[in-house]
Chain A
Amino acid sequence: MTALAPRVPTRFLPVLATVALFVLAFGVGSARYDGFASGQVIANLFIDNAFLIVLAAGMTFVILSGGIDLSVGSVVALSTMITASGLKAGWPVPLVIVVVLLTGSTLGLLMGLVIHKFDIQPFIVTLAGMFLARGLCFLISVESVSIKDKTFRAVATAAIELPGGVTITYNVVIALLVVAAAMYVLHRTRFGRSVYAVGGNESSALLMGLPTTRVKVGVYVISGLCSSLAGLLFSLYMLSGYGLHAVGMELDAIAAVVIGGTLLAGGVGYVLGGLAGVLVLGTIQTLISFQGTLSSWWTKIVIGVLLLVFIAVQRTMVRR
C-alpha cells in the first residue's frame, strides 16, 4: 500500500483497504478449504447478498448527506409482504412492482419531509418509520405468505449462464445495475454532487445556492426506493412475504457502508465502498459456513471487530 500511496489519491484508500480485505479474506478461504476458490462461490456471494447490495447503495446516499436511515430493513419486510399478498390476490406482476416501489418511495419522501421541514433528528424519524413499516406488515398479515405466482417463480429460479459454468440470478443483474445507476447519479449529476456538498457542510452548501431541501429530502426518497427494490429482490430470493423478514438488516447495511469507507459524518465515501463492504460481510459468512465447527454467532463478533478496525483506521486518516 505504501508503494501505491503516492499515485493513488488518499480519498480512495479506505475503499482500497476494503477491497484488499476482501481479497485477503477470500485468499485465506481458498488456501484453507477445497472448492472455496471457485467462480460459483463468488457468484453465490452476489446471489445471496443482492438485496443487501441495493440497500447499501441507497444507504450510501443518506449517509453521504449526513443522515441515517434505520427504516430500510422494515421497508424490505413491508415490500415482501405487499408483493406476496398482492400476488396472492391475483394482481398482475407489473402492478405489484409499481405499488411496492411507490410505497417505499412515499415512505422515504414522508420521512425526508418530516426530517427537513420540522428539523427532527433523522435517527428518531427513521426509527418511527421502522416501527411503522413493520407494523404495517402485520396489519396486512401476521402469518408468512408464500408466493406461488408462476411468472414470479420463473424469474426467481431462472439462471443466467456465465462463461466457465458459473450461474447467477436476475437479482444479481438488477443489483449491479442499481450500483451503476447510483454511481452515475452521485458522480455525474448535479444532484449527486450536491449530496456530497450538503454532507460536507450544509451551511456552506446553502450559501453556495445549492438546493439543500431537494438533496436532504431526495436522499431519503432514494433510500426508500432502494429499500423497496431490495424488498422485491428479497421476495424473489425467499419466495415469501413475512413481517419478520429482514429484522436488523438496517444494521448490516450501515455496517457494510461503514466498512466500505464511507464516513458517518457525511461527505466522504463511494457506492463501490458499500459494495465491497457487502462482499466482505458475505465472505465472512461463507468462511464461517465452510469452517463448519464455528457457530453462527461468531459472524456477529467478527463483524463487530471489523467495524471497530475500520472506524479506528478511518479515525487516524481523518486526523491526518
Chain B
Amino acid sequence: MKNRLLWPLLALAALLLLNLAVTPSFFALRIQDGHLYGGLVDVLKNGAPTLLIALGMTLVIATRGIDLSVGAVAAIAGAVTCVHIGTSDSTGTALAGMAIALVLCAVLGLWNGFLVAGMGIQPIIATLVLMTAGRGVAMLVTEGQIVTVNNTAYRQVGAGFVVLPVSILISLLVLGLVAFVTRKTALGMLIEAVGVNPEASRLAGVRSRTIIWTVYVFAAVCAGIAGLMISSNVSAADANNAGLWIEMDAILAVVIGGTSLAGGRYSLTGTLIGALIIQTLTTTVYTIGVAPEVTLVFKAVVVIAVCLVQAPKARAALSFRKVAVS
C-alpha cells in the first residue's frame, strides 16, 4: 500500500517544493482574527470541493463504475438552494434550501443507480445522460440567470471559518466518515468485491445492486455538498459554470491516487493525495506566473506521468528485473 502511494506522494512533495522555491513564504501560516491563513490553507480550501467529489467518485470507481454527472449535480444543488433562499437572510431558509438541494441530489443519485444497477446500462453512458440534461435542468431552475443571494448562514458553508475554513472541515469530516464506515466495517470489502466481479459477488450473497445504488447516491450527495460550497463561496448560483469539468478533476484525482478504473480496489488516502496534487498544480501555475490557461498543459503532463509510472506494463519496461522474470 505504502509503495503504491510513493509516486503520488513524491509528485506532491515536488510540487510543494517548487512552490517553496518560488515563494519562500509558501509554507508560512499566520493567525488573524482567529482564522488560519497561508498558502497551504489556500490549497486545501480551493481543493475542498474537488476532494469531496473525488471521495464519492472513489467508491463509484471501486465498483467498476464512473459518474460523469457530478458537475451537473453540483450545479443543480447550488441553483436549487440559491433560488429557495432568494432575498431572505434567515438561517432557517438557508438550512431548508440546503436540505431540499441535498435530498434532490440523493434522488438524482438514485436515478443514476437505477440506470446502472437496475437497467444494466454502462455507467459512463448512464451518467452521461444526467451530465447533459443536468446542466439544462440547473438552468431551468435559475431560468438562465446567475442567481445571487445575500445570506449570512449560507455564506458560512463555502467562505466561513472555524479556525480553518469550514469547507476544509466538511471535506475532512466526510473523508473520516467514509474511511471509518468502509474500512472498519465490511462495506469497503463488499464494494471491492462488487468491483472485481459483480456477478460472482451476487452469487456469494453480496447484494451487488444495493451496493451500486448506494455508491451512486453517496457520490451525488457529495457532489451536492460540493456544489453548495462552490455556490456559497461566491454567494451565487451559476448554472453554466459551477462545477464545470470538476468531474474530470475528480476522476483524475482518484486515478492519480492509485485507484484503478477497472474497479476492485481503492485508496481513500490516495484520493486525498490526488486531489491535493491537482489543486497544488493549479496553485503552482499561478504562483510561478504562467498564464492560468496553460495549467491544462501541466495537468496533462502530470496525469500522463503519474499514470505511466503506475501502469504495470510501463513499470515492467523500466525495471530489468521484472522483464527478466516475465
Report which A residues bind B (CB closer than 8 A). Answer: 68, 114, 117-121, 123-125, 127-132, 134-136, 138-139, 142, 243, 251, 254-255, 258, 264-265, 295-301, 303-305, 307-308, 311-312, 315
Nearest-CB distance from B129 to chain A (Å)? 5
Whether the Cβ atoms of B297 and A307 lie closer than 8 Å is no
Whether the Cβ atoms of B251 and A127 lie closer than 8 Å is yes
Nearest-CB distance from A172 to chain B (Å)? 26
Interface on chain A toward B: helix, strand, loop, or mixed SS? helix
CB-nearest residue of chain B relative to A305? B133
Contacts of B300 in A (CB 8 A): 128-129, 131-132, 135
Is B66 interfacial (CB 8 A cutoff)?
Answer: yes
Cβ contacts B286-300/A at 8 Å (1 or 0 each): 000001011111111
A-B residue pair count with CB separations less than 8 angstroms: 126
Having A119-B311, A135-B297, one finds 10 other A-B pairs with CB under 8 Å, namely: A68-B124, A118-B313, A124-B251, A124-B303, A138-B293, A139-B294, A264-B125, A297-B136, A300-B139, A304-B132
Is B1 interfacial (CB 8 A cutoff)?
Answer: no
The residue from B139, B262, B297 contacting A295, defined by CB atoms under 8 A apart = B139
Nearest-CB distance from B112 to chain A (Å)? 12
Contacts of B312 in A (CB 8 A): 119
Whether the Cβ atoms of B140 and A118 lie closer than 8 Å is no
Chain B positions 121-145 with a Cβ under 8 Å from a chain A Cβ: 121-122, 124-126, 128-137, 139-140, 143-144
CA distance A119 to B129 in the complex (A): 28
Whether the Cβ atoms of A251 and B131 lie closer than 8 Å is yes
Assuming A117-B313, A264-B125, is B248 touching A301 (CB within 8 A)? Answer: no
Is B173 interfacial (CB 8 A cutoff)?
Answer: no
Contacts of A243 in B (CB 8 A): 293
Assuming A120-B308, A307-B132, is B248 touching A127 (CB within 8 A)? Answer: yes
CA distance A130 to B121 in the complex (A): 25
The 11 sampled A-B contact pairs (Cβ below 8 Å) are A124-B255, A131-B303, A132-B296, A134-B296, A135-B293, A135-B296, A135-B300, A139-B294, A255-B132, A297-B140, A301-B140
Whether the Cβ atoms of B136 and A300 lie closer than 8 Å is yes
